[in-house]
Amino acid sequence: MKRNRFISAGGMRKCYAAEIFGFPEEFLNRASDEWVLKDYLENVNGDRYDLCRKDVQTQAVAQTLGEIFSKKVKGIEGFGAFPRILPSFLVQQVGPPNYFTIEPKIDSSSYVKHINNDGLPEPPSLRSQLGQKCLAFSHWSLKFTGGRFLVCDVQGSEDALTDIQIASVDKERELFGAGNLGEGGFTQFKRSHECNPYCTLLGLERFKIASKQGSGDEYGKCGRFRKKEKLA
């Protein structure tokens, strides 16, 4: 594997163009003809192996959820295509031990983040078709997993999404990446999410919010929004 030019950095990792060698041609052709390498920034705490392993686990679960979602939306008239979710592979450096992840390279000029790991959307994505589809995917993920996982930090291009985080109810089991904010992610998503036309096509319902005053269920922002609520 060879690390080439620096592409860009996020809050946790630096991303480089990369070449990989020693894999069968057919594998490379099928997976991708261009690759990136992701290396954690020096100021990120934690064991590199653990960080990378969790990223790979998270992308694998997100990929499967993405496949189920894509299959579902294929049958819904008017939804259109949904991007694939990229796989991520763990790589151990030969020599002084260090760990990285590699994944297929996508067009970085059209790279956009739609939703953050704290559950809040990026405002331009509330208006774009792709952004709305990604937010509907997040909403669907919560419903599909019975309220246990929220797919968030969704970003990438029109064709492929990457760097997903999954907020999980049992954050303490550390199934997912360093960006798993657990309950924090759920709460902010439920509080801020306004269902869009893609949520409607999927038959998703606005979130119910348990009232602090005990006056029964009220509804989140998708419907009437009341202040001083406590999320269910």
Ligand X SMILES: Nc1ncnc2c1ncn2[C@@H]1O[C@H](COP(=O)(O)OP(=O)(O)O)[C@@H](O)[C@H]1O
- The interface mask with Zn ion, positions 40-79, x = CB under 5 A, is ----------------------------------------
Site for ligand X (CB under 6 A): which residue of 4, 9, 124, 230?
A: 9
3-class SS string, 156-204: ECCCEEECCEEEECCHHHCCCCCCCCCHHHHHHHHHHCCCCHHHHHCCC
Instruction: Indicate the SS3 state at residue 141.
Output: helix
Per-residue contact string for residues 109-128; x = within reach of ligand X by CB under 6 A? --x-----------------
Spatial separation of the C-alpha atoms in residues 135 and 167, rounded to whole Å: 14
Query: Closer to Zn ion at the Cβ: 166 or 195?
Result: 195
Q: Which CB atom, from 56 or from 169, has the smaller least distance to Mg ion? A: 56
Nearer to Mg ion, 80 or 124 (CB): 124
Q: Which residue of this chain has its Cβ atom nearest to ligand X in the complex? A: 10
* Cα–Cα separations (whole angstroms), residue 149 to 14, 132, 213: 27, 19, 28
Laid out side by side, the sheet with 160-162 consists of 84-85, 160-162, 155-156, 112-113
| CB nearer to ligand X: pick between 163 and 207 | 163
If DSSP codes are grouped into helix, strand and coil, which group holds residue 138? helix
Interface pick for Zn ion out of 139, 154, 161, 163 (rule CB under 5 A): 139
Taking CB under 6 A as the criterion, the residue among 29, 93, 108, 110 binding ligand X is 108
> Is 148 within 8 Å of 210 (Cβ atoms)?
no
Buried b (16+ CB within 10 A) or exposed e, 112-144: bbbbbbbbebbeebeeeebbbbbbbbbbbbbeb
Q: Which residue has the tokens 């995917």?
A: 137
From the CB of 188, what's the least distance to ligand X, in Å? 18
- 133 scored as a contact of Zn ion (CB under 5 A): no
- Contact with ligand X (CB under 6 A): which of 2, 4, 11, 23? 11
201 binds, among ligand X, Mg ion, Zn ion, none (CB under 5 to 8 A by kind): none
Question: Which parts of this chain interact with ligand X (CB under 6 A)?
Answer: 7-13, 15, 36, 38, 86, 103, 105-106, 108, 111, 162-163
